[in-house]
A and B are shown apart, each in its own frame.
Chain A
Amino acid sequence: MSHDHEKTGAFEYLTTRKDELVGWARKFSLFPYPFVTACCAMEFMSVSSTMYDTDRFGAALPRFSPRQSDLLMVVGTVTHKQAPILKKVYEQMCEPKWVMAFGVCATSGGFYQNYAALQGIDKIIPVDVYIPGCPPRPESVIDGIMQLQEKIAGSSHPIVGEKF
């Protein structure tokens, strides 16, 4: 019995360290898929450029294929016409993946409370971080990225099964 306790304790120590290591690696090498639709694109372009650089977070290189990216940044309003495309792109991404709702329209529909706009992308896909603003200032976006990084760093990353 005591033998099992020691083994469990060591195992948990190792997985915690592994989780921290993997979390550190994952949070600093985000490959965003910029699902850009509307006005927030202007702030997305600004935040990727020299003044407020996302490259500092390792999140500069966009990957325009969902198979190669892990952060789905939904930038701008998603309408009902666009919703199937968003869902398809989300489902084509491989685990682990995170979703950022950039802007008020992606968070909740913004001020377009009408027949055309989807009232928040979390109605169709799960969202990890919401960045409100219409459009959000680049500092807000960076704050959102940092909060997402904390979330990634703090979560567990099962790479192999628990019995190894």
Chain B
Amino acid sequence: MAVDLLERLRARLSEDGLEAEFAHGLLAVQLPREALLETVHRLKNEFGFDLFLDVTAVDWPDRDPRFDVVCHFYSTHDHVRVRLKTRVPAADPVVDSLVPLYGSAAFMERECHDMFGIRFRGNEDLRPILLYEGFQGHPLRKDYPKEREQPLVRYRE
């Protein structure tokens, strides 16, 4: 039943011209960023993926577009997972926000913005969540050196 759902999903997505393949137990879909919101709508309303697991990004500095924004979804009824991947260029790192569909997207998008600088159109609250006010740069990008500290409190002598 679970695999049926994924097969149906794969067939439906290929109708939209989106390629999907099975990878280590879930269905991985590569799509352009313009198709993201509509595909997630379809996942939630037609195919029952009610739990939004995660959104994160991967930095490939030698490639253009530079970032991969990766979202994972889970269906609590059918117990299957889906991964959506979309490519985002460094010059314009903007993706649609999933906050209108899933409440849990709010914090996760803030973290993605903190760490990579990806902006989520539709999420007005992109304050730093893991970092602090005044932190310059985005640490998980490959060009941010790991040891560069930005202390808030002056060190004593």
Contacts and interface: CB of A to CB of B under 8 A. Distances in A.
Nearest to B148: A115
A83 B146 contact: no
B139 interface: yes
Contacts of B146: 113-115
A5 interface: no
A83 B131 contact: no
Interface string A103-136: 0000000000111101100011110000000000
B152 A83 contact: yes
Q: Which range holds the interface residue count of chain B? A: 10 to 19
A3 interface: no
B1 interface: no
Interface string A42-85: 00000000000000000000000000000000000000110110
Contact of A123 (B144, B150, B155): B155
A125 B156 contact: yes
Interface string B19-50: 00000000000000000000000000000000
B17 interface: no
| A80, A114, A124: most-surrounded residue (chain B CB, <10 A) | A80
A interface SS class: loop
Interface in B24-80: none
B131 A81 contact: yes
Contacts of A116: 131, 139
A124 B156 CA distance: 5
Interface residues of A, number: 15
A38 B131 CA distance: 17
A95 B157 CA distance: 21
B156 A80 contact: no
A80 B132 contact: yes
A80 B139 contact: no
Interface in B132-152: 132, 139, 144, 146-152
Interface of B: 131-132, 139, 144, 146-156
22 contacts: A80-B150, A80-B151, A80-B153, A81-B132, A83-B151, A84-B152, A84-B153, A87-B153, A113-B146, A115-B139, A115-B144, A115-B147, A115-B149, A115-B150, A116-B131, A118-B151, A119-B149, A123-B151, A124-B153, A124-B156, A125-B156, A126-B156
Given A114-B147, A118-B151, A125-B156, 5 more contacts: A83-B151, A116-B139, A123-B151, A124-B155, A126-B156
Interface of A: 80-81, 83-84, 87, 113-116, 118-119, 123-126
Q: Sorted from nearest, which 4 A-B pairs have the closest CB atoms?
A: A81-B132, A83-B153, A123-B155, A114-B146
